[in-house]
Amino acid sequence: MSLTTEHPAGTAAARPIPDAAEPYALFEAWFAEASAREPNDPNAVCLATASPDGWPSARMVLLKGRDERGFVFYTNEGSRKGGELLSNPRAALCFHWKSLRRQVRVQGEVERVTAAESDAYFASRSRGSRVAAAASDQSRPLAAREDYARRVAEIDALYPGDTVPRPGHWGGFRILPERVEFWQDMPYRMHDRLLFERDGDGWTTGRLYP
């Protein structure tokens, strides 16, 4: 029996990660496969932040932009994650596509996206989502859900048409990747890990033991 070719019962066949000079094309290929296979939200990703004194926190967000500049998501800047990103602008992402038995980890510094980018994305959301975002003091204490519903109704009445302006406290962040690691499940836990690390304008690459 060859441990490099034999698969345990119930384990889908897996391919080693191909060598690459940079991480973006590989991420796009994996993201396309995830979009075709994952039943819900292939762009869901775990975002990890930390307070200035080192307390970590993690939550799921939706990736809303990606290119060679970095990975973009949007949030209320008054939320816990928003406050931590503004005070300690470093973060990590972890994509987990269970149907493909794959994971991608991203680590880097964080910058705000431009106001124009935030305006454009906010305008693309459904009207109900824009109203709900404008009414929310995300992560702040809420005495009763009825209070939030009342604020939603007030914002809804204030902007009766389709135009609901982006609140000043709501915007986007871009993670500028310094490390990107691809992980592929393989038989008998002989998983494949390919790491990219920023080196000036380019990348160094290498494999890691699983």
- Catalytically active residues are 189
Distance (Å, whole) CA 60 – CA 49: 11
CB 50 within 8 A of CB 90: yes
Contact indicator for 40, 99 with CB cutoff of 8 Å: no
* Distances, alpha carbon 174 to alpha carbons 72, 118, 127, 186, 196, in Å: 4, 11, 24, 32, 18
Q: Token match 């304008």: residue?
A: 201
